[in-house]
Amino acid sequence: EVVVAWLTATGRRFDYIMEDAAYAAERAPSQALAQALVPLVAPGGVLVVNRHRRSDAGHLAALLRGSFRRLRLRRVRREGENMLLCCAGPAQTRP
């Protein structure tokens, strides 16, 4: 939360953001963190979020789907529980 606030205050946007800090967090803080990162993604950039498959990966994907032109869910390993939400091309960019 502290880093996201600092990055937001810089006014910059980034080509690649990987968020793995809230993998095991409860749904509300996990979703809030991911949503706070959306405006930091550059127009051609990518946000990758690591979440637990049975916890909130699906809910978070549904929440973020409208914020990006493309969103893919990728399971890290067939027998693993990690899901990567690969979000590309923010749907709206700030000036």
Joined together, the tokens standing for residue 77 give 């390993």
pTM (predicted TM-score)? 0.86
pLDDT in tens, 1-44: 789 999 999 999 999 999 987 877 778 888 999 999 999 999 99
The whole-chain average pLDDT of the chain stands at 87
State the Cα–Cα distance between residues 22 and 39, nearest whole angstrom. 18
pLDDT reported for residue 14: 96
Split at pLDDT 50, 70, 90, the class of 74 is confident
State the Cα–Cα distance between residues 4 and 20, nearest whole angstrom. 13
DSSP string, 5-69: HHHHHHT--EEEEEE-TTTTS-HHHHHHHHHHHGGGEEEEEEEEEEEETTTTHHHHHHHHGGGEE
pLDDT reported for residue 54: 65
